[in-house]
Amino acid sequence: METKFAIVLSGCGVYDGSEIHEAVASMLAVKKNGGSYQIFAQNTEQLHTINHVTGETAKQNRNVLEESARIARGKIKPLSEFDADYFDVLLFPGGSGAVKNLCNYAVKGRNCDVNLDVEKAIKSMFERKKIIAAICIAPVLLARVLKNIAVTLGNPDESLIADVNDFGATHVVKNTTDVCIDIENRIFTTPAYMLATSISEVFTGIDNLVKEILKTKN
């Protein structure tokens, strides 16, 4: 039977939503390796909307679900409808939306709060001993919600490592296309654009992540 992935997006664009290369690479890697996926996003307003040409904050803000639907080609569900009993893997691509919309780490740091639907999805998979994966900056979410897990953000600055460890997780330094596997807690993470300098490196790392997940799952 094919492995069912729930991919959670946080908008559309690296500076205020999902990192599009990472989101597309996640979908491609899942299908390439024989899995299936359903895309979800929370039905809330973004923290803000960034003009990706100028870097300036736009006056009119956007909705996370509606923006994520651009990447999903409209085939998307509100995260409030997520059912952990149906899926084998919960996967979070990176991008600033992971720490601006899925949680507010970008604003509040180690005192951040996680969106309730996001927290519920993570905890419901963890309680069922199902696999949870996160890419780029998104492992911060897992570290905030879950205790005593191991994750990687690659080899970031010391403040990020300190925050992850302060949440009660353990940060593991990894190279660009490596996968950090916490087999006991079934947590899989990879650095992607935390370290990558090309889209090919991003895809290789995410493809490695999906392959490692499927080895464990099967």
180 an active-site residue?
A: no
The CA distances from residue 18 to 64, 92, 102, 183, in Å, are: 9, 9, 10, 26
Maximum Cα interatomic distance, the chain, rounded to a whole number of Å: 48
Residue whose pair of structure tokens reads 């460890």 in the numeric block: 165
Q: Which of 182, 184, 157 is nearest to 170 (CA)?
A: 182
Q: Which of 12, 103, 112, 136 is catalytic?
A: 136
Residues 44/78, Cβ–Cβ less than 8 Å = no
**Mapping DSSP to helix (H, G, I), strand (E, B) and coil, where does residue 191 land?**
coil
Which residues are the active-site residues? 136
